[in-house]
Every structure is written in structure tokens, then in C-alpha cells.
């Protein structure tokens, strides 16, 4: 269930942002862009907003595991340890005023990652996959993700993650059936394998075997776990959906723009579609409930009305979108550019997004107090 931890005092409704009984954090996949999510998490902690449920795909699953697998006072420290480790192999270049120069340096950093890997995350294999025995991990990927298992075991308390107050859900896709599956701490004991499965993007990273099945990155099917969270909602909810790819952008002007835009559309369009469809359905159900309330008493006991009422029985959700909007110099390699300077810029952008959202939080607060379902993107400018 998605109820708040019963050990936590009941939340009040008199704050600048009155919190419902369940606050969820939904983290999209996006590789190196995930440091934006870390900035969001740090800023949320500073505002005093406690998370009851965190769900992630790919790099979002890594960030989610660090949140759920650490006490509140250690989460940001552990997140920073992870992101500092991933950025430790690349030099920190100065900021160049010209976008074209910055883009060149950005692309160089990304290609360096392809050649040498990312510390604590993945390393290149000694030989191409074609030279490895068929069916082995080395034959199915260009990189070895074993370093990530060690990193997760160092940064995550798996006992706390599985028995603590924060629910965790991560998504992956079954390689053979093509079916999407969520691993959830309410039904499964999660360990490093489940997190790695959620981020095993082919052909770069190998599939991860769990209970005799092979799993790949959940972003292949859906890059947002929002559907899982809404399908299992059992309390009034505030959801922070942190996306790493924007569905809308300017018209491409260069081939680098084309590569970047293709990736944005591929990983973001279904996210926005899911959000829009789910919220439309919820508003329709709210309208049905209002209509049923207007019926005369003799009709409310009608079996068809009762069936319709049951189908329309849903709790309100306030969905706050936080979307990373890339800089002009970030091209199609932005999700595997792990330099320290870029990581820090992404982190700062996440913090700024929460600051901007909280400055406009009265809109969300009004919706929570009114018990309505609505979505908010308060960082458009």
C-alpha cells in the first residue's frame, strides 16, 4: 500500500505547502542527468518535505535506492558520494562563454566515458561482444556493470530499504517476454540486482538475471514509474515527478540538435502522454462522482449507479512536474557526459527548480486543500 508510515506524526494542513498523508517522488531515467534529481532531493529535504514513496527507472532507480536505503540525515551525503564518484575520472574544465566551444568539450567528455567507462558504475570490456561466448554477459554488452553492484552495496542499507518507512518501486523489462515489471518493497525483497536491472540499458550494459529471468532497463518500455504509483494509490497524494528529458524544445538547427531532440522525444513523450491520460481519466471520474451526488436518493441504490460509483472511486492527487531543460550546448550525448562541472550544474538546476516551485506553492496548496486532481509545471518561467 502507499499509505504514510504510521510511526510518522499526522501531517498538518497549515504550512505553506500542506502535505497530504502520502508524498511520492517519481524519478525518470536519464543517465548522467540524474544529478538533477539529486539536487531536487536535497532541496526537498531542506524544505522539510518527507518522502513516503520513491519510484524510479534506470538512474532514477539508483537515486531512489539511495533515498530509501538511508535515514533522512544521510541521504544527501550518500547521493553526493555517488555522483562525486561517477564524475571523478574526468577533468573539470573551465566554463567557456561560447556555446560551440562548450558543446565540443561536452561531447569530448562524453566520448571519454565511452572509451573508459564511469568509476563505480561501469567499465569497458577487454574485447568486443562478438569475441565472447554466446549467451554470456560479455557477449550481450559492451560494458561490465559489476562496479555498480559494489557501489550500491556501499551506499545503500538494504535492510533499511526493505523494512524502513520509505516504499521503493523500480521498473525493468523482461528480455524474453517483453513485459514490464515493477519490483516493489511491499512484495519483493530488493537488492542491488533489482536496481541494476532497472538501469541495464542495452547494448551498453548487460541484462541482469533475477529468479531465472533476464531484465533490461525499464526505460525501453516506459521511462516513468508514474503509472505504477497512481495504480497503487491508497491515500490522498502529492507527487513530485522529476523528468530528465523535456517533451518540447526548439526546432533543430544542427545534426547535434537532431540527435538531442530524437532522444528527448523517445524518452519523454510517453511520460507526458501517461500523465495527461491519467489526469484526464481522474477528472472524468471526479465529474461522475459529482453527478452521482446530484441524483435523487431513490436512484443512488440502483445497481448500475452503484457499479459506476465504484469505478469512479478515486482519491485526489496533486502532480508537480519538475523537468530538466537542457542548455544550448548539451547535445545528444548529455545522458552519458559525467564530468564534474556538468554534474554540479545539473545538481544546482534541481535545487533551483524546487526553489521556484516553492515560491509558487500556493497554487499546489490550494489544490490540496480543495481535494482536487491537477498537474502543475511551475518552472516554465
Topology adopted by domain 23-376: Cytosolic phospholipase A2 catalytic domain (3.40.1090)
User: Which residues, in sequence order, are CB contacts of 222 under 8 Å at separation 6+?
Assistant: 57, 171, 180, 270, 271, 274
Cβ distance 152 to 195 under 8 Å? yes
Cβ distance 241 to 322 under 8 Å? yes
Please list the ranges in the chain whose pLDDT falls under 50. Answer: 1-2, 14
What are the domain boundaries of the chain?
Answer: 23-376
Strands (E) located in the chain: 22-27, 53-57, 123-124, 143-144, 167-174, 180-184, 208-210, 213-217, 237-243, 317-323, 374-377
pLDDT at res. 293: 86
* Helix, strand and coil percent figures for the chain, each rounded to 5: 50, 15, 40
Give the whole-angstrom CA distance, residue 123 versus residue 120.
9
The 10 Å Cβ neighbour count of residue 165 is: 17
Cβ distance 230 to 275 under 8 Å? no
Indicate the DSSP class of residue 199: T
C-alpha cell, 199: 538501469
The 10 Å Cβ neighbour count of residue 265 is: 15
pLDDT at res. 285: 85
Give the whole-angstrom CA distance, residue 146 versus residue 272.
33
Half-sphere exposure of 361 (CA within 13 A, CB side): 19
H or E stretch at 233: none
Phi, psi of 341 (to 5 degrees): -65, -45
pLDDT at res. 28: 94
Give strand pairing partners of 180: 173
CA distance readout (Å), 5 to 10, 154, 163, 303:
9, 26, 11, 36
Q: Is 303 exposed, middle or buried (0-12, 13-18, 19+ CB in 10 A)?
A: exposed
Give the whole-angstrom CA distance, residue 162 versus residue 167.
8
User: How does pLDDT run across 296-330, given as a tens digit for each residue?
Assistant: 888 878 888 888 888 787 788 889 999 998 776 67
**Does the CA dihedral 345-347-353-358 come out positive or negative?**
negative
C-alpha cell, 279: 489526469
Give the whole-angstrom CA distance, residue 192 versus residue 154.
10
Amino acid at each position: 500500500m502507499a499509505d504514510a508510515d504510521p510511526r510518522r506524526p499526522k501531517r498538518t494542513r497549515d504550512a505553506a505547502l500542506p502535505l497530504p498523508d502520502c508524498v511520492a517522488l517519481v524519478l525518470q531515467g536519464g543517465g548522467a542527468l540524474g544529478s538533477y534529481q539529486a539536487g531536487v532531493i536535497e532541496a526537498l529535504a531542506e524544505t522539510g518535505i518527507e518522502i513516503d514513496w520513491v519510484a524510479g527507472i534506470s538512474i532514477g532507480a539508483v537515486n531512489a535506492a539511495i533515498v530509501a536505503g538511508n535515514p533522512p540525515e544521510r541521504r544527501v551525503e550518500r547521493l553526493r558520494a555517488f555522483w562525486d564518484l561517477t564524475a571523478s575520472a574526468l577533468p573539470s574544465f573551465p566554463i567557456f562563454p561560447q556555446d560551440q566551444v562548450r558543446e565540443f568539450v561536452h561531447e569530448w567528455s562524453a566520448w571519454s566515458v565511452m572509451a573508459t567507462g564511469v568509476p563505480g558504475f561501469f567499465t569497458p570490456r577487454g574485447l568486443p561482444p562478438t569475441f565472447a561466448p554466446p549467451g554470456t554477459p560479455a557477449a550481450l554488452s559492451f560494458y561490465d556493470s559489476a562496479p555498480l553492484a559494489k557501489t550500491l552495496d556501499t551506499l545503500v542499507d538494504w535492510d533499511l530499504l526493505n523494512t524502513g518507512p520509505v516504499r521503493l518501486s523500480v521498473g525493468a523489462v523482461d528480455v524474453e517476454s517483453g513485459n514490464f515489471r515493477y519490483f516493489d518493497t511491499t512484495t519483493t525483497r530488493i537488492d542491488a540486482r533489482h536496481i541494476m536491472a532497472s538501469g541495464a540499458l542495452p547494448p551498453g550494459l548487460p541484462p541482469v538475471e533475477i529468479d531465472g529471468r533476464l531484465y533490461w532497463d525499464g526505460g525501453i518500455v516506459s521511462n516513468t514509474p508514474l503509472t505504477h504509483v497512481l495504480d497503487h494509490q491508497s491515500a490522498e497524494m502529492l507527487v513530485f515527478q522529476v523528468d530528465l528529458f523535456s517533451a518540447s524544445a526548439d526546432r533543430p538547427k544542427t545534426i547535434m540538435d537532431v540527435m538531442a531532440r530524437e532522444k528527448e522525444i523517445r524518452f519523454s513523450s510517453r511520460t507526458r502522454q501517461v500523465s495527461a491520460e491519467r489526469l484526464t481519466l481522474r477528472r472524468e471520474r471526479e465529474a461522475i462522482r459529482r453527478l452521482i451526488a446530484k441524483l435523487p436518493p431513490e436512484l443512488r441504490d440502483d445497481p448500475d449507479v452503484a457499479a459506476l460509483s465504484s469505478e469512479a472511486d478515486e482519491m485526489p492527487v496533486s502532480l508537480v512536474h519538475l523537468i530538466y531543460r537542457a542548455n544550448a550546448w548539451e547535445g545528444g550525448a548529455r545522458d552519458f557526459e559525467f564530468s564534474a562541472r556538468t554534474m554540479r550544474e545539473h545538481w544546482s538546476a534541481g535545487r533551483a527548480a524546487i526553489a521556484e516551485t516553492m515560491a509558487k506553492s500556493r497554487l499546489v496548496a490550494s489544490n490540496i486543500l480543495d481535494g482536487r486532481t491537477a498537474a502543475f509545471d511551475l518552472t516554465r518561467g
